[in-house]
Structure formats: structure tokens, C-alpha cells
Structure 1
Amino acid sequence: MWHKLRDKAQYLDYWLLIPYVILCAIGALMVYSASSDLMSIHGAKPDAYFTKQLIYIGLGFGLLLFSFFLKLNLLRKPKFLIGVTVVILLALFYLLVLSRIRPDAAINGATAWINLGPFSIQPAEFAKLLIVLYLANMLSKREKNLSEHWRDNVKLFSAPVILVAVIIAFVLVQPDTGGAAILGIILLVLLFASGISFWWGISIISATLAVITAAIAGLSRLNLTTGVNYRFNRILAFLEPFKLENMGGSQLVNSYYAINNGGWFGMGLGNSIQKRGYLPEPYTDFILSITTEELGVIGALFILGLLFLLIFRIFTIGIRARQTYNALICYGIGTIIFVQSLFNIGGLLGLLPITGVTLPFISYGGSSMLVLATGLGLVLNVSAQEKKALKMKQS
């Protein structure tokens, strides 16, 4: 067994591993810098979030190694996929019920976390990885199962459409618009990356939207939807942040101040002004604003460069993959990292509405760190398979 592990380890893709390690290190440093002052003000330990982030990074690295050495075929087994699906659906339903019986459980307008004492988990993050694995498995089989008769194809795609649509609907009513949008984009990318015909892709997307609409309408009749006003205020604040500073625009305004304060080279690590009570929760959604204020535009561009390198490498591995399943896993994980980065950066620059999406590997957050690390481990696994196959072919 150890011989097999050592054999696989020699195919490790350092173009993925090194950027990941550097991003995690920068993220931990910036989480400490962005949170320590606020913790001290509230009488808590200055390194409280830093310590948790280190734990998340350690657990994430363990999951990365586990998914790297894992046999990918195990993830395609029906029992595994069904089991994970049931757990995530139950968790999402629990949050839906919790939002009605305990409105005070909402954080930043959304009931999206399950509290487990000192830690909490966000089921919507794990749903992203589930959707990638489920769709990669289902769509990779389509080449053998697609029929000339449309009725057979409807049977083939009806279950995936209902599953993905119900999960998106659950996430959307938390409300987590950013998370729901990411799930929808994953569906879109994987559908067309699988080589499915344009019209079948449009039909599946249309059917998914119809099921989402029906699910939300049903939840509305049961009075289970929340957060409409909260989302509306966020959109208004995005359009007129300075005019509506007291109605949700203050986050974006203070983000602008932080970026402006930093200039090209920053005010120095730990010297941010906006993190001291002006920018709410600066260690999560707006951590890049604080990073820019302290390390400057140059520091922020370095982080974005590492993220771009990571995303580019993931999609390159997917393009070169010989098996459709492996390629779709890479496209799905790459899409998660790319869209999260896009939503986060677009939000703090005022180019997109603020959706509460974290910056991959940089923002504080356990669920996101664990899911992204596991996904990256799967991509490393695919990369190792491709390198080994190429070596055997050349020898």
C-alpha cells in the first residue's frame, strides 16, 4: 500500500499545490490582521479567528491529501452519491425550518449555518461539491445512454434536473443568492462542457428553472421563504451606495475607502483603518479590501495572480483529461473557484451586487476551506492519473 502511495506522490502537480499553500498562508495572516482588533474590542482573544482558520487549513490539507490518494471510482458509486445527497438535503431542510422557528438564528440576513458549538457548517458549500460529482457522473454516462427518442432522454435527465433544482431552491430561500447562482453556473458549465447538444442543454436549463420556480412558489405558500427585503436592499445599495449608506450601502462605501487608503503599496500590515469597526466582518466578504488597504494594489494583484494561475491550471488539466468524468470534475471545481472569486471581487469593487460570497482560500470560513481543499485534491488526483498515463504511453 505504501509503495502505491509513494508511486502516486511522485505525480503531484506543484503548479496546483504551491499556489494553494501560499494562498492559505496569506489568508491566515490576513484573517488575523483583519479580525484581531475587533476581537480585542469585544473582549475576546485577538487570535480567536486566526486559530480557527489554522484548524480549517489543517483539516483542509488533510482532506486534500485524502482526495488525492482516493480512487475516483469510489465517488461514482450510487450508495455514496445517494447518501451524501440525502444528508445535504436534510441539512438544507433543517435550515429552512430553523429560519421559521428561530428567526434570530439568521446571520447577515441569511439562515445558512448549522451551529456545532465552537464551529459551524454551511451546507450550501458542500452542495457545490455534490453537484459537481453528481453531474460529472451523470453526464459522463450520457454518451452511452443518450437515445434518439426524446422520451428516453427525458427519463434520463429528469432526476438530475429535479435534484439540482431543489438544492438551488433551498439555497435561494435561505436567502443565499450568491450560492444559488454558483450552483446554477456549475450546472450551465458542466452541461455544455460535456458535449451535450445546444438544444438539449437549453431544455435542461429551462426545466431546471421551472422546477426552481415551482419549488419556491410551494415554499411561499407554506410561508417558508424569507429575506426578500434584505436582498432588495442589497441591490439598491449596489446601485446607489453613497446615497443609501445607512440602508446597506456602508459596506461598499467603506470598501472603496479601504482600497483608496491602500494605494499601490499599502499602509503596512496591521495598519488598516477600515477594519476597526467601519467595515463589518472584514475577515470574510471584504478581506480583499483590507488586504488592499494594508498591502496595496500590488499585494492584491499578487493574490489574484495566484488565483488565476490556480484556475488556469485546473481548466488546463480538464481540457487534457482523457475521460469525460475526470474532465468534468476539473471544470466543476475550476468553476467554483472562478465564480466565487468573480462574485467576491465584483462585490467589493461595486461591479456586482454584494452576495456574501467569500474569496477562495483567503477569507475566514471553515466550510468553504474544506470544500475547496477537497475539490483541489480531486483535481490533483486527475492530474496524477493523466501524468502516469502519459509516462506509461511514452515508455
Structure 2
Amino acid sequence: MQIFRNIRRKLPYLDYYIIIPTLLLIAIGIVMVYSASSDILAVNHLDPTTYLRRQIFWAIGGLFIMLICTFGNMGFLRNAKVMLWIIGITLVLLFYLIILQKVHPAAAVNGAVAWINLGPINIQPTEIAKVTIILYLAFIFDKRGPNLVKGQIIHNLVGPVALVGFITLLVLLQPDTGGASILALIVSIMIFSAGIPIGWGLSFIVGIGSLIPLAINFLKKFPINFLEHSYQYQRILSFLYPFQRERTGGSQLVNSYIAINNGGWLGRGIGNSIQKKGYLPVPYTDFILAVLSEELGVIGVVCVLGLLFFLICRIIFVGIHAHTTYRSLICYGTAAMMLVQASFNIAGVIGFLPITGVTLPFISYGGSSIITLSIAIGLVLSISLKEKREAKLRS
């Protein structure tokens, strides 16, 4: 009973600008997963509600975890021993994937071994790594923040950057280029948010940003023939020449264009997508935005993405107004994770980036993604709640 009384006392301080968009996005995701998956399942003589039921299960589980993170005492996450355990478990899971890839290459899906099968559920360690890195960097920079001054930056960054760099490398070796890129950008944003001089940050961003167009132009002019059988290299070629390679890998992007074009401004209506009927492979994961565009049109896409980016902006707002470095960095890390992931997904669907298999937060099918996002959102809600209660005590 004490637990419920504690929750009732905290309810007035909940941030509904975070809760409402989150619940709406989860609901939209459930509807779109069912719409995008039911036809394919029915054609294969399977239960059309299979992925719907799984998504609802993960959504309920995610909301329960979010509730625990919001109202529970999460102070134990700032304990060095607990942080060490979290990092250790993450490393073990990522190492297991590398071993699995060597001893059981048939486990690869789309060229990568990214999931650990635990019977009725699959775990994606890359998703766990995202939260681990956010918690670790918030923890370490809260401790070392005052020392991140000129002359001491490199000394205080070598250890943390080496560790998160190693985690990112393990993800890259799966190989999961999209996941590794997301982790690298989360790390970069959190490092700059921790108080690194702006000159360092701008130099890094300009340097990394200039490599992307250079790499694309290099691949256009000098095809790398010895990588011809590499799944990841084929994805890059399909991105560069989707129509020329429509029969050998470019069809996913071409059919995404067709779906977006079919949708127009208002869409064909929920359930009426044509491209999900066997043209877009696995349309309920990384290409669910193309199905959404065909069924709800440009206006529907703008509304859904508007909700998502409003949520991200609100999380940043909470981080800006937080009174400790630790709280701010958790908010910035969560916002970075969602922003980068959404940007990669959108860019892949419209052909601005190679297809990386990155899902759209809350909308795409996936249990690990929903649980990871729920943990992060729960922590942000907890921070917002504490800030509001402390502000009232100060007034």
C-alpha cells in the first residue's frame, strides 16, 4: 500500500507532454504493425494477428517497465558496482553474438547475427548497448565533468571513449553498421553535451560529415570488386543505383518510392497499402514508414513524425532545465538515441542514406526496441518528476 500512496503523491508532477506523445506513438505503432504484417502472414497461411499480439505484449511490458523507472528509486544506477555489472552483461551479450556468428553462420539474418534466441523471445544486444552507453557516460561525466577543461580533456576522455568505442566495435563486427553508427553519434552528442569546448565539437562534426560524401563519391568512381559478395556492400550499391539494381537488391528502395508516391497527400486508407503485399520485404520493420506513407499520406506522416520530434524536443527541454549533469546527460542521450534512429530510418526510406535496418522508434515492430525506449523514457519521466518536486520545495 505504501507503494501506491507514493505513486499517488507523485502523479501531479508527471510530465504529460512526454507521456501523451509516447502513448500515442505506441498505439500508432501497434496499428501500423498489424496493417503492415497481416497480409503477408495470411498469404503464408499463418495467423494474421501474430505480430499484432507480439507488439501488444511488448508494448504492455514496456509500459510496465516505464512505470517502474518513473516511480521507482533509480539511484542505484549511480553506483559504480551496478554500472560495472551493466557494462559487463552488455559486453558478454555482444561477445556471444560474435562467437555465434563464427560457429553458426546460418543464424545470420540479412547478413548479420544481431539477435539472441531465448525460446519465445529474441534479445537484440545492440539495443541494450544504447541504454548502457547513455547510463555509463552520464555516470562518468557527472564524476569527471569539472575536469573537462583545457589541458585535461584528453586525459579524462581516453578511458571512457575507449570503452564505449570497444562496445561500438563489437556491434560493428556483427556486422551492424546502422547500430554502430547510432552508438557513435550518441557518444559524440553526449561528449559535447558534457562541456567539451565548442571548437572540438565542431571540428569533429565537420570531419566526420565530410567523410560521408567523399566515401560515396569514391564508391561511385572506384567499385570495390573484392567486396562484391558482401551484404553490406551490396546495400551501398543498391542505395547508389536503386533502379539499375532493382532485381539484385534495389527493389526495396524502389518499392518504397512507389509506396510514398501512391500515398499522395491523404493516403489510400489504413490497410490499403499495395506495396506491403509482397513488394516491400518485411514491411513492418525498417520500412514501416513507407507503408504508413502509402496508407496515411504525407499529412499522416507529418503528424506521426511531428509527435515523435515533439517528444524529442520535450526530452531536450527537460535536460536543459535539469539541475545536475547526470540528469541532463541522460535526457540528452535519450533524445540523441531517438533523433539519430528516426533520422536514419527516414533517410533510408527516402533514399538519402543506405538501408541500415534501423527501425522507427515506437512505430516499427520489435520487442528489444520498445523495451529500450521504455527504459529511457521512464528515466526521463523520473528526472522530470524529481525536478518538478524539487522546484516546488525550493519555492
TM over 0.5: yes
Residue matched to 2:96: 94
Name the CA distance, whole Å, in 1 between partners of 2:390 and 2:126: 35
Residue matched to 2:245: 244
Q: Could you tell me which amino acid in structure 1 is paired with residue 170 of structure 2?
A: F
Q: Which has the higher mean CA deviation after the structures are superposed, 365-374 or 100-109?
A: 100-109
Contact 1:175-1:227 at 8 Å conserved across structures = no
Q: Which has the higher mean CA deviation after the structures are superposed, 342-351 or 79-88?
A: 79-88
Name the CA distance, whole Å, in 1 between partners of 2:359 and 2:59: 15
Residue matched to 2:142: 140
SS in 2 for 1:141: helix
Q: Could you tell me which amino acid in structure 2 is paired with residue 29 of structure 1?
A: V
- The two structures have a TM-score, normalised by structure 2, of 0.90
Is 1:256 equivalent to 2:260 in the alignment? no
Name the CA distance, whole Å, in 2 between partners of 1:10 and 1:74: 24
SS in 2 for 1:115: strand
Name the CA distance, whole Å, in 1 between partners of 2:265 and 2:199: 48
Residue matched to 2:327: 326
Residue in structure 1 matching 2:122, options 120, 131, 149 = 120
SS in 1 for 2:117: strand
> When the two structures are aligned, how many residues end up with a matched partner?
372
Residue matched to 1:345: 346
Residue matched to 1:214: none
Judged with a 3 Å threshold, the aligned counterparts in structure 2 of structure 1 residues 62 and 344 are, in CA distance, closer, same or farther, namely: same
Name the CA distance, whole Å, in 1 between partners of 2:326 and 2:185: 18
Residue 110 of structure 1 deviates from its aligned partner by 0.9
Residue matched to 1:289: 290
Contact 2:186-2:336 at 8 Å conserved across structures = yes
Residue 21 of structure 1 deviates from its aligned partner by 0.6
Residue matched to 2:28: 26
How big is each residue's C-alpha offset from its partner over 1:40-99, in whole Å with a ceiling of 9 and x where there is no partner? 112211000000000000010011111111323211111211111111111111110111
How big is each residue's C-alpha offset from its partner over 1:298-345, in whole Å with a ceiling of 9 and x where there is no partner? 111110010011001000111111111100000000001101110000
Alignment of 1:149-164 (within 5 A): 150=152, 156-164=156-164
Name the CA distance, whole Å, in 2 between partners of 1:385 and 1:8: 9
Percent identical pairs in the alignment equals: 51
- The two structures have a TM-score, normalised by structure 1, of 0.90
Residue 154 of structure 1 deviates from its aligned partner by 5.4
Name the CA distance, whole Å, in 1 between partners of 2:200 and 2:139: 18
Contact 1:60-1:370 at 8 Å conserved across structures = yes
Alignment of 1:211-290 (within 5 A): 229-290=230-291
SS in 1 for 2:77: helix
Name the CA distance, whole Å, in 1 between partners of 2:240 and 2:204: 33
Name the CA distance, whole Å, in 2 between partners of 1:45 and 1:148: 61
How big is each residue's C-alpha offset from its partner over 1:122-173, in whole Å with a ceiling of 9 and x where there is no partner? 00001000000000011111234558874xx656433312210111001011
Judged with a 3 Å threshold, the aligned counterparts in structure 2 of structure 1 residues 199 and 272 are, in CA distance, closer, same or farther, namely: closer
Q: Could you tell me which amino acid in structure 1 is paired with residue 82 of structure 2?
A: F
Contact 2:114-2:174 at 8 Å conserved across structures = yes
SS in 1 for 2:69: helix
Contact 1:174-1:227 at 8 Å conserved across structures = no
User: Structure 1: where are the runs of 5+ without partners?
Assistant: 206-225
Name the CA distance, whole Å, in 1 between partners of 2:46 and 2:301: 29
Alignment of 1:297-308 (within 5 A): 297-308=298-309
Name the CA distance, whole Å, in 1 between partners of 2:150 and 2:313: 36
Name the CA distance, whole Å, in 1 between partners of 2:327 and 2:126: 23
Name the CA distance, whole Å, in 2 between partners of 1:350 and 1:197: 34
User: Structure 2: where are the runs of 5+ without partners?
Assistant: 206-226
Judged with a 3 Å threshold, the aligned counterparts in structure 2 of structure 1 residues 142 and 51 are, in CA distance, closer, same or farther, namely: same
SS in 1 for 2:13: coil
Alignment of 1:128-207 (within 5 A): 128-145=130-147, 150=152, 156-198=156-198
Contact 1:12-1:384 at 8 Å conserved across structures = yes
Contact 2:228-2:234 at 8 Å conserved across structures = no
Q: Which has the higher mean CA deviation after the structures are superposed, 264-273 or 332-341?
A: 264-273
Pairwise CA RMSD: 2.0
Q: Which has the higher mean CA deviation after the structures are superposed, 194-203 or 368-377?
A: 194-203
Contact 2:30-2:56 at 8 Å conserved across structures = yes
Residue 236 of structure 1 deviates from its aligned partner by 1.1
Name the CA distance, whole Å, in 1 between partners of 2:280 and 2:28: 20
Structure 1 ranges of 4+ moved more than 6 A: 199-205
Residue 119 of structure 1 deviates from its aligned partner by 1.6
Q: Could you tell me which amino acid in structure 1 is paired with residue 179 of structure 2?
A: G
Name the CA distance, whole Å, in 2 between partners of 1:35 and 1:245: 23
How big is each residue's C-alpha offset from its partner over 1:246-283, in whole Å with a ceiling of 9 and x where there is no partner? 22111100000111111111111111111111100000
Name the CA distance, whole Å, in 1 between partners of 2:228 and 2:155: 35
Residue matched to 2:221: none
Residue 388 of structure 1 deviates from its aligned partner by 1.1
How big is each residue's C-alpha offset from its partner over 1:354-375, in whole Å with a ceiling of 9 and x where there is no partner? 1110000000000000000110
Q: Could you tell me which amino acid in structure 2 is paired with residue 72 of structure 1?
A: M
Contact 2:145-2:195 at 8 Å conserved across structures = no
Judged with a 3 Å threshold, the aligned counterparts in structure 2 of structure 1 residues 203 and 83 are, in CA distance, closer, same or farther, namely: farther
Residue matched to 2:390: 389
Q: Could you tell me which amino acid in structure 2 is paired with residue 321 of structure 1?
A: A
